Structures are given as C-alpha cells and as structure tokens.
Chain A
Amino acid sequence: MSIPSRHRSLTLFAAAIAAQVLLLAVQIRRGQQVRLIRVWAIESVSPLGRGAAWSVDGVRGLWNNYVGLRHMREENDQLRGEVGELRMRNSQLESRAAEADRLAGLLGFRDVHSEVQTLAARVIGASPDPSSHMVFISRGSRDGVKRDMGVITPEGVVGKIFAVYPDTSQVLLLTDKESGVGALLAASRSQGPVRGSGDPLLGLEYISSDVKVEQGEKILTSGQDRIFPKDLPVGTVVQVQPDRRSPFQKISVKPAARLDGLEEVLVLLTRQEFTFRKDADKAPVPVASVTSPKPAAFPTAPTAPKPVASVTPSKPTAPPPPTKPAIPPVPPKPAAPVTSPKPAASEAPSKPAEPETPQDPGTPDNP
C-alpha cells in the first residue's frame, strides 16, 4: 500500500516522533524506578486484562447466580425441612435436659433428706375442671401412696394426695379453694393456716394484727396438720394488709413451689420431721435411680409420738387466739415407728383419716 506523497512527510514526522517518544520511554524511569515504556506497556495491556476479568466474572456470575441456582429452590426447601427437624430435635433435647435437671434436683433432695421416705412421681395430667387445682401423678396405691399424704418439690410444699388409684393419684394443690396447710411465719413463729383461694396466691390466716409481718418473709409448715413435717417451705409473704373488721391481718403468700409448671414431685410417705435444706438439689446423684418405678425404702429412725393437728385446715368454730392456728386440735396420736422399709406399712399408722384404697382401679377414693 503506497502512501500519498503529500502525506508521506506527515507520516514520516509521526513515525519519527513516535520512535523518539519510545526512545525516551525506554530511558525514563518513573516512581519505583520502573521504566516508562513498561508503565505504558502495562497500562496499555491492563485494560485488556480488566476487560477479560470483567468478562470472566460476568460469565461466572451468570453461571453461579442463574444457571447454577436451578436446583436452589429444591435445596432450599430441603434445607428448610432439615432446619425444622433440627429445631424440633433441639427443642426435644432441651426439654430432656431440663427434665434431667429437675430429676437431678429431686434425686438430690431425696439423697440429702435420706432420712425421709419419699416417692418420686411424674405429673401426668391436670384436672379437667378449671376451678379445681388438681393434678394427677404417676404413682398410686400399688406404690404405697395413700390419701392425705403430703406432696412436695425441692422448692416447697405442693399439696396433698386427694384420691388414690392403683397406679395414679390425684393431688390437691395448695392453690385450690379446698386446700390448706398448717403454717407459721419463719421470723415470729406465729402459726396460722395457709389456704388456697383458687388464685395463684395463697392466704395466711389468723395472724394477729399485733404480729409484725414483713413482705418477703418466709412461710414454713408448722407440722400440726399431720400431713407435712415441720419447717417445709410453703411460700413467701408478698402482701400484708390490715383488716379493720377483724383482729387479723390479710396476708398474701406466693407459693414456694412452682405449682403452675409441675412436672415431677415427691410424695412424702411418712410424716417424719426433717430439716429442709434448700441446697438439696446441688447434691451429686445418680440420675438412673430417679426413674425407678418403686420408691427406695429409706430406713428411718423411729420417731417419738407427737401431737398432730387435723389434716385439712378448716374454719375455726370459735374465734382463735391471735397466735394460734384456727385448726381444731386433734387428740395427740402417736406416730407409729417406722420399722419396715415398705412405705405403705410405715405410713399407715400416721394418717389420721386415711381413706380406703379402692379395689376397683377405676374408682377413686372418696375424698
């Protein structure tokens, strides 16, 4: 291809200038002693590299974000299902862990209070009647459970056995209107019955206005109801109000045991007194023994006969003295010494009005 003569000199000029510019570029060093020709070479090539990288990234992104995601929806659905299953399994494991903790607490309580015969039971149902505060437990007459036996948790008093069936029992909770327990104030030792009201809070009655009651004060069992031993935690005073129409105070008590979330309880097979230790659940215990179907027969020392009060607190027939519980006294009755490891044999004499265990498994005791 021939260059027109009029452009020949111009072409030659451009070539001469370009050649000398390149000559300069070879000599000149810029910045980090990099030759200018190299800088130009890199800068002229780098757009190509950037373009190539952009193209490759685009193709890769197209592949990864569109073509490669064809099965993502199915995989996503599958993963969602797996997440759901894992959540359910996690929930089950958490529930089991919590159950194990509770059982360990129960077992620890039993081990610490080994002098007391107790029977671990699982709460298997609640009363269908919303007005009655009752639960069913997994122990019955075949396990040695009898009517009016006390039911506790490591936190405190729960209630008493209301009806006994061969394999189950019905527990009347403290919060039931018909329920009550002989109690006393931990500080002043003033005694009075704690009654259920159908509400979550209990009421401590017949505490004279002269007695100073502090909010937060502990309420313990007095042991005079012949159901619970002395000094078991019943609850905590949450409200104290003077009653102008009577010489007694109105005291609201929050139950020590979590009655609205019971899952495992201990049935007191004897009325033997023991010192309630709050740190019982910290004792190391073998978990396997908790779920044993039959209660361990704890050998207990014979207890001295003691006067006991009636089982169910009832309204006094006459105005009681300010510091006395409004429970009609029952003639002192000696508690039978526990000599046999079997709970049924050891507990029989200590119950004041023990109902007959029904022969028919389906028929409850007459309360």
Chain B
Amino acid sequence: MEIHASYDQHIEVHKYYAGTIFGVVVLALALEAVLPVYFRSAAILELPLLITIYFGLSRRNPSSGLLLGMAIGLAQDSLGHTPFGMYGIAKTAVGFVASSFGSRIDVDHPISRFLLTFVFFHLHNAVLVLTDRILLGQHEPYLEMRLIIASLVNSVVAVVLYPLLDRLRRT
C-alpha cells in the first residue's frame, strides 16, 4: 500500500467537469462530421480518438476511460454507416489502455503525448481491422501509407490539441 501511495504521489490525476467532457466530445464529433465537408484533407483527422486518448491519459481511471471511449465510439458509429459497435469496441480498448498507461507514466510531456497518440492510433486501427476481419469477414489492409501519414498527422495534432485541453482541467 505504501508503494502505491508513494507511486500515486508522483502521478497527478486530473479532473474535469462532466459538462466539459460532454461538450468536448460533442464538439469533436461535430468537427469530425463537418470538417471533411469543407476540407477534404480533414478526413484524415480522428478527433474522437484524440479526445478518448486525452481523457484516458489525463483521468487515469481505466473504468471511466473505457466507458468514455465506448460512449464516444458508439456515438461515432451512430453518426456513420459502420455497424453499431465497430468504433465502440476500438475506442473502448483505447480508452482502457490509455487510462492504464496514464496511471503509470508521465503523459504531459509533448514527446510522450506524440508517441502515445501514435501508438494508440495504430492500436485503434488494429482493433478496427481485427473486428472487420473477424466479425464482418472483410479483409481490409492493415498497414498503408495513408494510415502512417494519418497516425503522424493525428499525433502532431494531439501535441497541439492536448495543451489546449489541459486548460479545461478542474482546478
């Protein structure tokens, strides 16, 4: 217990207002739906995923992280044409893993945020492809140049976006 106590002393748990989280999520989903209409290249962005990763890493609670990821994913499924649960599963996994990682390492550094976003982006995509292949019986290609570019772009966006979101923390 002492180990945990001393460990917890080094890992800061950030808290957010529920309305803040809800508003950020809705905004991300709205931008995800609207931006590609005006900027075709904006389709490469995965803002709901970035929000899931951010809150998972920041709140450092696996239960709330996976539930938030599941909610964001299901909302994304409901807005799109994918079967209900595709993005839900992927973002549940990402939210759970991000929360678990966030409780153990420092996730406030830009480089670590970049790397973690890069890794979680590929984890998210891996779960999507896996679900596609296992449940839907489709053989989507896993690793493409477009995916690598997207992961890099989203990681860069995360490095820029996360400090802005840090401002929303409850003090």
Name A's B-contacting residues (CB within 8 A).
8-10, 12-13, 16-17, 20-21, 23-25, 27-28, 30, 36
13 new A-B contacts at CB < 8 Å, known A9-B100, A24-B86, A27-B84: A9-B63, A12-B62, A12-B66, A13-B66, A20-B74, A20-B92, A21-B85, A21-B89, A23-B84, A24-B83, A24-B131, A27-B83, A28-B136
CB distance from A350 to the nearest CB of B (A): 107
Sample of 22 A–B contacts (CB below 8 Å) = A9-B61, A9-B62, A9-B63, A9-B66, A9-B96, A9-B100, A10-B62, A12-B63, A12-B67, A13-B66, A13-B92, A13-B96, A17-B89, A20-B89, A21-B89, A21-B135, A24-B89, A24-B131, A27-B83, A28-B83, A28-B136, A36-B135
Interface size class on chain B is: 20 to 34
Whose C-beta in chain A lies nearest to the C-beta of B96? A13
Chain A neighbourhood of B137, CB < 8 A: 30
Chain A interface, DSSP helix/strand/loop, else mixed = helix
Complex CA distance for A192 and B129, rounded to whole angstroms: 111
B70 CB-CB contact with A under 8 Å: yes
B26–chain A nearest beta-carbon distance, Å = 21
With a cutoff of 8 Å between Cβ atoms, the chain B residues found around residue A16 in the complex are 66-67, 70, 92
**Binary interface encoding of chain B residues 34-77 relative to chain A, with 1 for a CB under 8 A from any of its CBs, else 0:** 00000000000000000000000000011100110010001000
Q: Which chain A positions have C-beta within 8 A of B70?
A: 16, 20
Task: Give Cα A16–Cα B135 distance, bound, in whole angstroms.
Answer: 16
Distance A36 CA – B83 CA, assembled complex (angstroms): 12
Sorted nearest first, the 5 A-B pairs with minimum C-beta distance are A9-B62, A20-B85, A24-B85, A23-B85, A9-B63
Assembly CA distance A219 to B18 (angstroms):
130
Q: Which of A8, A12, A23, A24 has the most CB of B within 10 A?
A: A24
Distance to closest chain B CB from A297 (angstroms): 101
Contact of B62 among A13, A27, A28 (CB under 8 A): A13
Give every chain A residue within 8 A of B62 (Cβ-Cβ): 9-10, 12-13
Is B88 interfacial (CB 8 A cutoff)? yes
Expressed in whole angstroms, the Cα–Cα distance for A23 and B86 within the complex equals 9
Could you say which residues of chain A place their CB within 8 Å of the CB of B136? 28
Measured between beta carbons, the chain A residues less than 8 angstroms from B84 are 23-24, 27
